[in-house]
Chains A and B, each alone.
Chain A
Amino acid sequence: MAYLSIENVTKQFGDAVVVDNFNLGIEKGEFVSFLGPSGCGKTTTLRMVAGFEIPTSGKIKLGGADITDKAPNQRNVGMIFQSYALFPNMTAAQNIGFGLAVRKMNAEEIKQRVDEMVGLINLEDHANKYPYQLSGGQQQRVSLARALAIRPEVLLLDEPLSALDAKIRVSLRAEIRAIQKRLGITAIFVTHDQEEALSISDRIAVMNAGEMEQVGTPFEIYNFPKTQFVANFVGSLNNADAEVVDPDNGILAMDGVHFKTAEKEFTRRRKGDKVKISVRPERFSFAAEPMKDNVVDCIIENITFLGSVVRIQISIGNTKFNMDTFNNPFLDLPAIGAKEQVMCSKEAVLVLSGEETPQGYLAGVAG
């Protein structure tokens, strides 16, 4: 039985279904991200766990108890807001102590706990400052300490880093993850930034238009995406139309070029089915290795130097693909217009269902 379970939760606003039959079980101490574009329902789902929205149907259970109808101030979950939401009339220390004061702890206990929290976020010198005297990153850390001070059962973070500068974002997310691990607290993190989700989560739930498309570890989500949407949203992807040639042996043809795939459900397909073939740019290589299953001819169309990565645009048949390879000063790059052979493994060839993809090689530009 999961520690926090969201069961068949649906939320409707009038006729609009914003969250559709969301199901997820989260273990104690787990860090789960809700990842998706704006409007996919991730924040609404989070707010239902916090109690600021009531599900139209479904249940939310925490530690075995049903909290679906409980008022927000009875749930003992800690929430971090995108806009920090620090009370402007109180110092950082007073903000942190607010939840404790509400619970009528005595002054001695409050001071002790507040000092502990201030130490946790490393803001000892700023504890008596007012929010307007603190930077965005500092305010968010105070907000974190404020939520943690009451020892919540779950920590809910609603795009906490979106309002911050890029550098602070990276350092603060690592800090949040470190604190979460140290305290062993269960956390749900909402974001639209796939890099954020990938770098700090135990598991990621990818959402699209109210539905959860896939949930899994970052490794699984990236390497074994189940739908077009997930594959495109997380990382970049080459997409093209293809046709099934030999279902039993996993062979499909794109522009007449044969590819072998290791997709598990492929044997269920029939010859002649129209499918989409997807390959991540970094799975192509020039190097000849006997284990690679797919060796195809291509023509080099363009070479772009992106820093640590070199992006080579190739055409296979009539379709253009992106191929990424690590930069190396001694790399012997082919000339534009040259005919080469590229290879990729059959596991790299994904055949995914679903929509949400523009055609051709421009699919799924990262971010």
Chain B
Amino acid sequence: MNLMSRFRRFPFWSWIWFILGALYFILPLLATFEFSLSWDPEVPFKAYQRAFEDNDFWETFIFSNVLALATIIVSIILIVPTAYWIRLRLPEARRMVEFITLMPFVVPAIILVFGLIRIYSSPITVPFTDLQLMQPLTNFKAGTNVLIVAGYMVLAMPYMYRSVDTGMRTVDIRTLTEAAQSLGANWFTIITRIILPNIRAALLSGALLTFAIVVGEVTLASFLGVNAFGPYLFLLGQHRAYEPAALSFISFLLTWLAMGLIQLATGGQGQAAGAH
């Protein structure tokens, strides 16, 4: 093979695009990191120290994690049986359910919170009467917590459902169920001992994605007045310079951790959540 054809095969342009892309990705992160270290030349991690010393940080961060956990658990309880049921007993409902899981794309966070507030800031009444069943959800804290978890579930629903559905498809749930039935198992046993363990990777992937969405979320949290990490970070950015940079960098590392784990769990399929 002569020299010219060997040169022809070197992916010159591919490298250029890749390097450009890499630069665009990395520079902002580098800048954030560099900035976060530049508060006090003698104590490079001062920004991180101060950030972690703030009680409000821990309060909001832990609370956001709790919210994420709640979202994940309730989502799984809601979605896994539904996906299973559709596969096995009610294929007719598939189109409808899939349509519903696409709806959050059409109703982004800002619209969702608008609607949620408008409906649930009035008392819940029995239709056509004046009987009040419950105070407006937005009036009390537990109420807003319920609302925000529900809102997060809606935001995460497309990804969670798609993850679980794909997981069930690869494992051939139908045959497993038939085998389990022939051995005498009831539906509860089947779900807990056969279905759930076999879709572990899918569940993990969905859970990590939900975690990534919830912990940094700002829109729902600030409008519903919930004491979450997102609004805290935003407020911090109004008053402080270096701590927000430090926390942003940490947040990036956490997202990377979550995505990396997803890659490991699913063997290489990337997952994207939309913009916030």
**A residues within 8 Å of B by Cβ?**
54, 69
**Closest partner residue, chain B, to A56 (CB atom):** B1
B35 smallest CB distance to A (angstroms): 48
Interface members, chain B 1-31 (any A CB < 8 Å): 1-2
A69 smallest CB distance to B (angstroms): 7
Measured in the bound complex, the distance between the Cα atoms of B1 and A69 in whole Å is 8
Measured in the bound complex, the distance between the Cα atoms of B2 and A69 in whole Å is 9
Interface members, chain B 153-204 (any A CB < 8 Å): none
3 tightest Cβ-Cβ pairs between the two chains A and B: A54-B1, A69-B2, A69-B1
Interface members, chain B 73-103 (any A CB < 8 Å): none
Give how many A-B residue pairs fall within 8 Å (CB-CB): 3
Interface of A, secondary structure class, is: loop
Interface of B, secondary structure class, is: loop
- Residues in A whose Cβ lies below 8 Å from that of B2: 69
**Closest partner residue, chain A, to B8 (CB atom):** A71
Interface members, chain B 93-149 (any A CB < 8 Å): none
A209 smallest CB distance to B (angstroms): 25
Measured in the bound complex, the distance between the Cα atoms of B9 and A54 in whole Å is 13
- Residues in B whose Cβ lies below 8 Å from that of A54: 1
- Residues in B whose Cβ lies below 8 Å from that of A69: 1-2
B193 smallest CB distance to A (angstroms): 41
A305 smallest CB distance to B (angstroms): 37
Measured in the bound complex, the distance between the Cα atoms of B185 and A241 in whole Å is 58
Measured in the bound complex, the distance between the Cα atoms of B5 and A54 in whole Å is 11
- Residues in A whose Cβ lies below 8 Å from that of B1: 54, 69
3 intermolecular pairs with C-beta atoms under 8 Å apart: A54-B1, A69-B1, A69-B2
A292 smallest CB distance to B (angstroms): 58
A265 smallest CB distance to B (angstroms): 42
A116 smallest CB distance to B (angstroms): 36
Measured in the bound complex, the distance between the Cα atoms of B1 and A54 in whole Å is 7
B6 smallest CB distance to A (angstroms): 11
B107 smallest CB distance to A (angstroms): 34
Measured in the bound complex, the distance between the Cα atoms of B2 and A18 in whole Å is 21
Measured in the bound complex, the distance between the Cα atoms of B2 and A274 in whole Å is 50
A53 smallest CB distance to B (angstroms): 10
Measured in the bound complex, the distance between the Cα atoms of B2 and A54 in whole Å is 11
A217 smallest CB distance to B (angstroms): 36
**Closest partner residue, chain A, to B2 (CB atom):** A69
B7 smallest CB distance to A (angstroms): 14
Measured in the bound complex, the distance between the Cα atoms of B191 and A286 in whole Å is 66
A92 smallest CB distance to B (angstroms): 32
Measured in the bound complex, the distance between the Cα atoms of B2 and A173 in whole Å is 39
Measured in the bound complex, the distance between the Cα atoms of B4 and A54 in whole Å is 14
Measured in the bound complex, the distance between the Cα atoms of B3 and A69 in whole Å is 12
B74 smallest CB distance to A (angstroms): 42
